[in-house]
Amino acid sequence: AHGNEAAALALQTISRMIRGGIRHEDIACRYEENLFLLIFPNMPGRVGQTRARALKDQLERADISIQGTRLPLSLACGVGSLPENGPDVWDALKAAQHALAAD
């Protein structure tokens, strides 16, 4: 609704928040156009869910604007975990996608 400038600002804000909220050993990447994948090695799924909720809350409180218009940001999260969701990374990814669809 606000054009490419707003989309770029939103992506920059999201990226900065992710970068500021992960550990040295964590991995963050853009997975698809508007999806990010965060990998938290050696972290129980419930802790990952807590961190995802905290990031969601932080992002929704972000105060960013374009030409005086506040840009509301939101985040939907899906969390998958090994070995809780299966024996390999694809099982965890499928679980995260299913949780994302339910969010």
State the CB neighbour count (10 A cutoff) for residue 81: 19
Please say whether the beta carbons of 92 and 40 come within 8 A: no
The chain-wide mean pLDDT, for the chain, equals 84
pTM of the predicted model, to two decimals? Answer: 0.74
Q: pLDDT tens digit string along 73-88?
A: 887 888 888 888 888 8
